[in-house]
Chain A
Amino acid sequence: MPLTMPAPDQSVLARRDRIVAALRRIVPGEGVISAPEALRPYETDALTAYRQPPLVVVLPETTEQVSAILRWCHGEGVKVVPRGAGTSLSGGALPLADAVLLGLSRLNRILEVDYDDRIAVVQPGVTNLAVSQAVAEAGFHYAPDPSSQIACSIGGNVAENAGGVHCLKYGLTSNNVLGVELVTMEGEVLRLGGRQLDPAGLNLMGLVVGSEGMLGVVTEIILRILPRPETARAALIGFPSVEGAGQCVADVIAAGIIPAGMEMMDRPAIHAAEAFVQAGYPLDVEALLIVELDGPDVECAYLIEEVARIARRNGATLLRMARDEPERLAFWAGRKAAFPAVGRITPDYLCMDGTIPRRRLPDVLRRIAALSEDYGLGVVNVFHAGDGNLHPIILYDANQGQLERAEAFGQDILRLCVEVGGVLTGEHGVGVEKRDLMPEMFSEIDLAHQQRVKCAFDPELLLNPGKVFPTLHRCAELGRMHVHGGKLPFPDLPRF
């Protein structure tokens, strides 16, 4: 594997028994896992190409235990990798051989729901879907809905700033979190943000969201919940060309309509999904849009007609409105099953996650197709078209030694995203997967400004090291470092 992680600290490996014993004193019973075969389930997240069993796994049940674990590890100079449900697609929860893996799955209670203030206070191990389920009876929901919502944890959503189909209208995780309880690497328990809309001083909570488990361990989250819209209506729209579909997306937005979701699939994705779930997708179109509107009945009825008009103007050859709830769910079934559907047509796949300006869509798809030819690897495109977030899925066979080629293809796609004015990742995070591509988007100076934030939280760089930053500078160095004319004074600092 081409990825290099920080070299394990031999002195920590040598102290393993002592570390395990200390953790057992903090978390008695089943909460410490150290038998090699029992560490297996923790050796990877959903970026399964990379695997590394951790030193030991600890599963605390209280904030006090989290604090005691971190304080002890900090005192002993032992690294810690936080983990929620392990569904990260960027390797954010990838363990290190010399680090404690801190699993938050047992902190899994919904502590409070307050409908007058429209908040839910939850522990990090609660799954995303469980929040919506807990408030469903009162007619509420938690809006961000990653496709992994049955499994992924709110703590992991906060760390990755997760999105979902509905974030076009309702925002990403960061727009839906009001406050967090954070335990720093030193074991200090801080409350950032709160139940009110804005923080008193600097917005430190905003920094924590999307920080990929590197600034602190989140032990409690105050989420904004919303009344569930009265109705949702969906339209399934087929186009003879990707351009037509792309223009339709742009025109819908330009008409002032913000759909609850606007998803696009290309021909290979349509075929794979249809073969898998028989959603009734047309097989003779080049691009398929699912446009969902939510709100009061009259609003949906009115806007769905507007969308239909725009679609026809852009040459739609198929236009189906879901007549009832089962049909609406059928429209989504194919899209939601895109990953497993692709899994049936290829031994392995890699899911990319760049964002581009919407207007560049047709152009970018053409160039991805050309790259696919060059690399000799298939690609299937599903994406959150409304906000330009692409998920090209690269098909490969690891047993044929195609992993490196697939990765190179993926990196070229992300470079292309940056080249057209977009970014490396829209919702999956940098993790280890895109770490070494960060210089495509940020200069050394830009990255140094980000890494100093890391230093303000965790000066010894013990929490989830090896993620996000392509080069790890010691904090003392970074504090002194001045960058002149874009050049660092120590240009050849060793990469780890």
Chain B
Amino acid sequence: MLPVTVRDLADIVAETAAAGRRLEIRGGGSKAEIGALVRDAAILDLRAFAGVIDYDPAELVLTVGAGTPLAEVQALVAAERQMLAFEPFDHGPIFGRPAGAATIGGVVAAGVAGSNRLSMGAPRDHLLGFEAVSGRGEHFVAGGRVVKNVTGYDLPKLMAGSWGRLAAMTRLTLRLVPAGRTSATLILSGRSDAAAQAAMATAMRSTANVAAAAHLPAEVNAGRAVTAFRLHGFRPSVEARFAMLAGLLAAMGPVERLGEAEAGRLWRRLRDLSPLDDGQPLWRINVPPSGGCAVTSALAGQGARWLFDWAGGLVWLSFGGDAALVRRAAEAAGGHAMLVRAPAEHRALVPTLHPEAPGVAALSRRIRQAFDPAGVFETGRFPERPRAD
């Protein structure tokens, strides 16, 4: 279904809910293969809610239709030397699809961010306000259109990362940041995971103001382990910080500055995850930075391959073995694991999102019911528990 007006959208949701049927909210569908297969839900396509509603570059604030293609939003703000701080990108290629389908609403609803998330925050930190139709078939607004606002509950924080389970967003107001004038990438080579972890911690404790820190082990990088650090900012500042960081890390091994093109390739590979493009199920594990290595060493020697982002706090893991092992390792390190890519049979059995503690799961359920009492958006895509069979 492709509603064009808010009224259509509200009617569709209300009628479907009343009939006890289900709707699967979809933007570009670039992540349609995340989660369990959805059987009897109609697709609710939000791409008609597209276009720029208000953009005054001097305010660093943008209001757009949720169905606006991500690429369009990025081109618009790049022309003003601005950007979305959480580094959104099109996830289609991870699933072997062409790029270009992702919508800004889908990006925010998926709540996932790139390497800069370490220093610049997640979509939820930049979603100032939204308009949406909830599972009640009612159109509502929350948040505001200014950068500083504490009026009422912070529903934008809840909506970012809600995976279409509360409401269908029609408009978003996002905060923008100036695009970095210069960036520089420093690499250390040949470090073990643990040694890379230590180097990343050292860098993050310094005043070098590191924007992104990642580690590619030798197994996923043509036999050469690379630990990379990215700095952004005004040129004199980047140069000074680069020198400081290089001095700090020199004791750990030879440091090298990557040329722009090579740096671009490196960070792109961390986004499109091509180093892990091996057909195995793909996991996204979120832990405290010091816990990344503990997760991977628990799974080493069992066919697992991985890389680290967010200074060790994000582990992308390619692993065909028992899902319970992954979840246990993530929990032991104080975090959680999301199943991002897997064959349909696998996804039918293993919940995509890490199961929550019972009290938290119950509260989450009550929150979902508050927005969607009939469960019109409860498509079964995100089951709370593993299916017992």
Spell out A's residues near B (CB within 8 Å): 114-119, 139, 160-161, 163, 167, 171-172, 174-175, 184, 188-192, 194-204, 206-207, 209-211, 227-230, 250, 253-258, 295-299, 302-303, 355-359, 384, 387-389, 421-430, 434, 438, 441-443, 445-450, 452-457, 468, 479, 482-483
Contacts and interface: CB of A to CB of B under 8 A. Distances in A.
Contacts of A139: 205, 207
From A184, A195, A434, residue with most partner B Cβ within 10 Å: A195
B58 A253 contact: yes
Interface residues of B, number: 88
B313 A197 contact: yes
Contact of A456 (B142, B201, B359, B366): B366
Contact of A389 (B121, B148, B165, B371): B148
Contacts of A161: 150, 154
Contact of A171 (B121, B134, B179): B121
Contacts of A483: 138
Given A204-B367, A230-B207, A449 B149 contact: no
B322 interface: no
Given A190-B363, A355-B149, 19 more contacts: A160-B150, A175-B121, A190-B357, A194-B334, A194-B335, A195-B334, A196-B288, A197-B122, A197-B286, A198-B122, A204-B363, A253-B60, A254-B58, A296-B237, A357-B61, A358-B59, A441-B152, A449-B134, A479-B373
B354 interface: yes
B150 A203 contact: no
Interface in B327-363: 334-336, 338, 353-357, 359-361, 363
Contacts of B369: 456
A374 to B, nearest CB: 25
A295 B209 contact: yes
A486 to B, nearest CB: 9
B205 A118 contact: yes
Interface of B: 56-61, 81, 111, 117-118, 121-122, 124-125, 134, 136, 138-142, 144-155, 157-158, 160-162, 165-166, 177-179, 181, 201, 204-207, 209, 233-234, 236-237, 239-241, 244, 286-291, 310, 313-314, 334-336, 338, 353-357, 359-361, 363-364, 366-371, 373
A357 B144 CA distance: 11
From A203, A211, A257, residue with most partner B Cβ within 10 Å: A203
A446 to B, nearest CB: 5
Nearest to A384: B148
B363 A250 contact: no
B367 A445 contact: no
26 contacts: A115-B205, A118-B204, A161-B150, A174-B154, A174-B157, A192-B360, A197-B117, A197-B122, A199-B161, A201-B360, A202-B158, A202-B162, A207-B154, A254-B57, A258-B178, A296-B241, A358-B59, A359-B58, A422-B144, A423-B146, A426-B150, A427-B150, A430-B151, A442-B152, A453-B367, A457-B366
Contacts of B373: 479
B141 A442 contact: yes
A-B complex: 4 closest residue pairs judged by Cβ atoms = A206-B157, A256-B178, A299-B237, A452-B370
